[in-house]
A and B are shown apart, each in its own frame.
Chain A
């Protein structure tokens, strides 16, 4: 290289050397300022005023019913904690005898806590009973490193009631923790099902932080700067439900001995009035320690108590489906009110005979609904065809989730041509597959909630309402109440069509020859439809859907009882009683046997209602 360049290099080197030295002089000066000049300040801060952040749990939101009755409360729960660094392991046996807990379990908790931090308290056991707490508390002075903390837990003033709807809170899983970012910490309780899960963000509130001075041994000295920097926790929002808990309790009592579900909704806004799923579970067992035994027992119970039968089952609706078939046929002009057939007790299609329960003689569409004539609908469905059935099914909310705000629900199924192609293979199925769809059998799958939504569209003469359990959310900090809006979609049925179907449903209950007489409510005209759904798992499922009063309905109901037998005899009385209770606040009818006994195999198959093909 040339000399000029070398001169250049040396001048640039000099300049960069000066820059480097200047920068490091600044860094050194800062270091000396921090460590030597401010040592007394920072040293004091470090040794006496180190800061520990203590998380203050917010109070979870309360849940009220439509009449402002408190249905989910919050109470204190005591957890025994251990600070691994301060705990003397020689005390392990003593502690385990006080807590009546296996030393290995405690040791495991200590190890887990130590993995996080030796100096912060870790929970050994959550929600201890009062005896254990007082035993430990009395001996606290002998047990350095042991302490207790107060948290909130869910309390249920109504006991085991609407468990599936309300849901429960459970300790957060590692997976949830990973996905949640910084909102949650290990050991937090988080809504895991029902309303607790779907309204988690509203219910949980915001955590607060207290800054506590800690000395170098990790001992707490008191609030930092008199608590000026503390952030208070903010309590969660309250939910105000559409549920009427008086009605809920009553409905639960009627359903006690059944496996099944009951959904009552307000046909004017889609608000759920009661939702029962039996068998159920005690949600309070999740609010403290959930032992794995309890959890396993619930999960492996053949009756599936955790399963919300009101929203998650997918059973054929049986004859309760007939209004939809009739609506499709009338609206499409396939039949009119004068159309009638002569029922001879069976229907032959191809080489197969589809039976009816009775010989109904000449029936028009209104009578066919009233008497639940199968032959009428066997014929009708063949004229309607799969595509139109699907169209009307969708209009009434079948084959898709209702959008209810309690989370888990099935979308159900109305079979389509594509569905049959997939299941049976192209060309491997015939019109014969359709016949039983006409009476709500075969591959059709619906939930009791969908049935209630569908029935409500007849009750309110044509609006499909999005069912919901929460009416409004109350922000306790601002006292602002937000009312939640829900979708309302017309089903687009002609007025005359609607009138005929409603008339058929009225006659089911009110006229002789109707199948739902047991749902009758004295003093009020009501309407409904019975259903008895065959299924491969034993006796028929009993269905009843209905609404009352007929002219200005205030309640819609759908009842489904698994393997209970006939809809008209098993489900209809329950539906009638629940509606009666809601309309009058009391039961007017005389009930000789208020709670019908469980009938796993009903032998009276040949007596009434509906036949077998």
Chain B
């Protein structure tokens, strides 16, 4: 019995997940203690319980069933995203929260999982190869469709997750370096365009050089170069059409001092919170930044500063270490899976987790722009927590079925 469990039960994923959930609950408790939001803690604990059950159930679903249902999940997710665009209610300037039986629910959380599963399912078909242009475009389309629906909400953060998580998936699926470069350079150009004309020209030059180095043939280089230019040039137009709060976030990243009360304020206060934690931290419920509520709504996106302030370098390192372990574990599951579907899906999970973790902690520490992305397992939010635990359930499932072709 025990040996069966050792062989087929993914204790590592389970323990990492539970440890992170516990740190998260403590941080939320601390962040919301005494400002009448203690209900947040209770609700999050309830969601953790629900998420745990779902996670265990998912880990036991037969792999074939998962694979077969992937496209069904995908189309449900797409339909939900479309419905939200039409009738969704707006929270913090974005349309993504769903009034679901009185609780906030964010379908884009689940759309990420469904998209990864659909992508993995498609590319695991025996007659599909990423190196064929038609199949490449279909796989890109599987990602692009929900991504644009989410971007239209507009939820920039989640759309970024889709984009970044796609890169390791393409890499894992065997896409050539040129394709990866061709997908990356437009982002480089866009970023340059946001900084100004000089930066834009430098970015275009670097992009062109990269495309040349990894070139396959003249035609594809020309197409990729054209796309890069078009994206870069349309960024200015898009920037003007963005919501004011999004523009503020971008300009606050480029120049945090410019907006001392807005997004820049959050980053400054967040850095002070983490920085003042020291090695051992100020102690549970003793963080002055946290308890004085310097950072608005820090139980959501800025939860990492609670951890950093109250538990110090020690606590924050443990959290970062747990995250690193989770990513490496997902990579390991992907590597040892004999089934192409579960292998790709595990890489997808890694990509999603990794993007959230890096962007969120990076933003709390002033390395990244402030984009509204929750920190997996730690940030307050029922749908996010449940979705993350579903992903761990999937990893546990893939681990258990790793020997299945």
Contact = CB atoms under 8 A, between A and B. Distances in A.
Chains A and B come from one and the same complex: yes
B277 A35 contact: yes
B35 A115 contact: yes
Chain B interface size, as a band, is 35 or more
Given A27-B362, A35-B279, A214 B292 contact: yes
Interface stretch (B154-162, B205-213, B308-316): B308-316
Interface in B65-119: none
B242 interface: no
A75 to B, nearest CB: 29
A35 B174 contact: no
A241 to B, nearest CB: 35
Contacts of B320: 24, 27-28, 31
A232 interface: no
B203 to A, nearest CB: 21
B396 interface: no
Given A24-B320, A35-B278, A43-B276, A17 B331 contact: yes
Interface stretch (B24-32, B214-222, B266-274): B266-274
Given A31-B308, A35-B278, A8 B365 contact: no
A211 B171 CA distance: 49
B34 interface: yes
A27 B276 contact: no
B36 A115 contact: yes
B269 A51 contact: yes
Interface residues of A, number: 46
Contacts of B324: 20-21, 24
Interface string A41-54: 11101110011010
B316 A46 contact: no
B397 interface: no
A119 B171 CA distance: 52
A1 B327 contact: no
B313 A12 contact: no
B372 interface: no
B317 interface: yes
A338 to B, nearest CB: 68
A31 B317 contact: yes
A28 B317 contact: yes
A117 B35 contact: yes
Interface in B197-245: none
A46 B276 contact: yes
B335 interface: yes
A498 to B, nearest CB: 53
A39 interface: yes
Given A12-B172, A229-B260, A46 B317 contact: no
Interface string B334-354: 110010100100010010001
Interface of B: 34-36, 168, 171-172, 174, 260-261, 269, 271-279, 288-289, 292-294, 308-309, 312-313, 316-317, 320, 323-324, 327-328, 331-332, 334-335, 338, 340, 343, 347, 350, 354, 358, 361-362, 365-367
13 contacts: A9-B335, A12-B171, A17-B328, A23-B354, A24-B320, A30-B365, A35-B277, A39-B275, A42-B276, A43-B278, A46-B272, A46-B275, A50-B272
